[in-house]
Structure 1
Amino acid sequence: MPEQPPRRVALITGATAGLGAAFAARLAAERWDLELVARDAARLSACAADLSARYGVRVGVIPVDLATGSGTATVEERLRETPVELLVNNAGIGLGKGFLDSTLDDELRILRLNVEAVMRLTFAVLPQMTERHSGGVINVSSLSGYGVTAPGSTYTATKAYVINFSESVAQSVRRYGVHVLALCPGFIRTEFHQRAGIPTAGSPGWIWLDADTVAAKALSDLRKGHYVSVPTVRYKLAATALRHTPHGLVRRFSEAGNRFVGRGAR
C-alpha cells in the first residue's frame, strides 16, 4: 500500500467559541488534526468530541489559562513536541471598563493573554517551521489596533502590538517558506463582547461579521502570503481611514464613542 501523507496539525487557542471554533470546524472539514486550547475543560472536551465524530480527525485538548505563566508554558511544550503546521493565536480578552476604573490585576491579565501569550507561542512554534521550511501562524488582532478607537482602554494597544509584531516576524521568516498573518476583523458575532461586558444593543446589523467567513478569509490570505487580513471591503476602507486620517480627527471620533468605556460613560 502507498504511504499515507503525514497528517497536518493545527493548534488553536480560544477554540471553544466564536472565531476559534470557526477555525477549528473549517480546518477539521479540510482533514486537519487539531490541538485545541481553552480554559473550560468540559466545554473543550465536548467540542473536541464533536469535531472528531463529525470529521473523523484526531483532536487533542489542552485545558489551560493562557493568562498564566504555567498555562502558556504547557502549550509551549506541546508546540515543541508536536509537528504543528498551523498555529492560530485566537485567545484574547477585552475589558468593558476604562483604565481609570480598572484594576492592576485586570490590566496585567489582558497584557499576558493578548500580548505575552501571542509572542511566546509564536516564538515556540517558529523553530520547527523554519527548519522544515513550511508552516503558518495566524495572530488574531483587531481593526481597533490601527487607532485609539476606545479611549482609556488597553485593548487597542494590545492589538496594535499584535499587528506590528506579526508583520515584523512575517518579514523575517518568509525566506524559510513560513507565513505569519495578522487578522484584523471588525465586529464579529461571538461571545467576546458579552464576556467583556461591552454593550452591543442597538448597534446596526451591517457592522457584524460572520465568524466562519472571517476564518475562511484569514486562511485564504495566509496561503497567499499576505501579512495582514482585513475581511470585507467596508472594513478595509475603515482600516485605511484609521491608518491615514490625522490622529486628532481619530481622537475626536473615538471620544464620541466614549460611552462604551471609562468615565466618559457616566
Structure 2
Amino acid sequence: MPTALITGASAGIGAVYARRFASRGYKLVLVARSLEKLEDLAAELGAAYAVSVEYIVADLTNSDQLQTVSQRLSEGDIDVLVNNAGAALLGTFEEADATSMERLVALNVTAPTLLASAVLPSMVKRGSGAIVNLGSVVSLMPQYFPGIYSATKSYMLTFSQGLSAEVAGKGVYVQAVLPAATRTEIWEKAGADLSQIPNVMEVDDLVDAALVGFDRREAVTIPPLADVGLWDTLEQARAVFPSGLGGSPAARYINHS
C-alpha cells in the first residue's frame, strides 16, 4: 500500500485530501497543529477505510517541529507529499508587521520547500513518487490581492514548475494546484468575511478536481479555469520568451541622445 503525507491535514483541503487518499487505499501520515482534530480524523479514516493512519502534531513555522516532519519524510516510505499547510495575510504590504510576514513566509514558502527537499532523494532513488504543492490563482494576478500572500503563492508555482523540470525524467511527478476562493478556515483565521467573496468553491469540489489533474499528471491544475486555452497560451509565451533574450541591451534601452 502506498503512503501519503499531508500537511495541514486536520481540516479543510488537507482533511479532504486525507479522505480521498484513504479511499484509494493509501496509508496516511497526517500533519497539523491540533492533536484533537488529528485523533478524530485518524479514527474516522481508520474505521471507514481500514487504512493505517499515523499523525504528527507540528507547527511548521517552528524549526524543531518542522525538522520532525522532515525526518519522517526522509525515512523513504512516502509515495505522495501534499504540501497543503498555509495561511493568508490580509492588508497591504505597507500595513503588515514584520513578525506576521516572517511567519507567513515560514509557513507558505520555507516549510514546503524543506519538506520537498526531505522527501525527494528517496523518490528519485526508487524512480517514483509525487509532490503536490497547493498554490493559488492569486499568483497569476497579484494586483488583486495586496501584501505578500500572492508572492508566497507565486513562489509555490515557480518552485513546482522548476522542480518538475528537474525531476520529471527521474520518475517524480510534481503538481501545482491553484485554487481560487475556497470555503476553508483560512479566511476566518485571516479575518476575512467569506460571505463577501464571490464564486467560492466548496472544498470537496476543489480536491476532487485537483485529483483529476493528479491522475492526468498535469503539471499545473487550476480547478475553476474553464478555458484551458488561456493557460496554454500563457505557457507557450513563457516557453518562447527566453529565445528573445540576447547578451546585449535591447535596442529600446539604448540611449541614442
| Cα distance in structure 2, aligned partners of 1:212 and 1:28 | 14
Structure 2 counterpart of 1:233: 225
Instruction: Give the gaps of 5 or more residues in structure 1.
Output: 1-6, 245-266
Contact 1:36 1:44 in 2 (8 A): yes
- 2: CA distance, partners of 1:10 / 1:151: 32
Matches within 5 A, 1:132-171: 132-171=126-165
Greater Cα offset, 13-22 or 44-53: 44-53
Please state if 1:11 is matched with 2:21: no
Q: Which has the higher contact order (CA 8 A, sep 6+)?
A: 1
Q: Superposition pairs for residues 1-266 of structure 1, below 5 Å?
A: 7-204=1-198, 207-234=199-226
Q: How far apart in 2 are the matches of 1:243 and 1:81?
A: 36
Contact 1:188 1:209 in 2 (8 A): yes
CA contact (8 A) 1:51 1:59 kept: yes
Output the CA distance in 1 between the equivalents of 2:106 and 2:34: 18
After TM superposition, which residue ranges in structure 1, 4 or more long, deviate above 6 angstroms? 237-244
| TM-score normalised per structure 2 | 0.86
Taking structure 1 as the reference length, the TM-score comes to: 0.83
Equivalent residues, number = 236
CA contact (8 A) 2:5 2:31 kept: yes
- Counterparts of 1:36 and 1:195, CA distance in 2: 21
CA RMSD across the alignment: 2.1
Q: Structure 2: how far apart are the matches of 1:159 and 1:128?
A: 26
Q: Secondary structure of the residue that 1:187 maps to in structure 2?
A: coil
SS of alignment partner, residue 201 of structure 1: helix
Post-superposition Cα deviations, 1:212-255, rounded to whole Å, max 9, x if no partner, equal 222222223223222100003348588689999xxxxxxxxxxx
Asked if the contact 1:11–1:86 (Cα under 8 Å) also holds between the matched residues in 2, the reply is yes
Q: CA deviation at 1:43?
A: 1.2
**Do the aligned partners of 2:138 and 2:145 also contact (CA within 8 Å) in 1?**
no
| Residue pair 1:98, 1:153 contacting (<8 A) in 2 also | yes
* Aligned residue number for residue 261 of structure 1: none
Taking structure 1 as reference, are residues 221 and 63 closer, same or farther at Cα in structure 2, changes over 3 Å only? same
Which amino acid in 2 is paired with 1:36? L
Give the greater-gyration-radius structure (CA): 2
Q: Which residue of 1 aligns with 2:249?
A: none
| Structure 2 unmatched ranges of 5 or more | 237-257
1:187-214 per-residue CA deviation (whole Å, 9 max, x = no partner) reads: 111111111111222333xx12122222
Identity of aligned residues (%): 35
Q: Is the 8 A contact 1:89 1:118 kept in 2?
A: yes
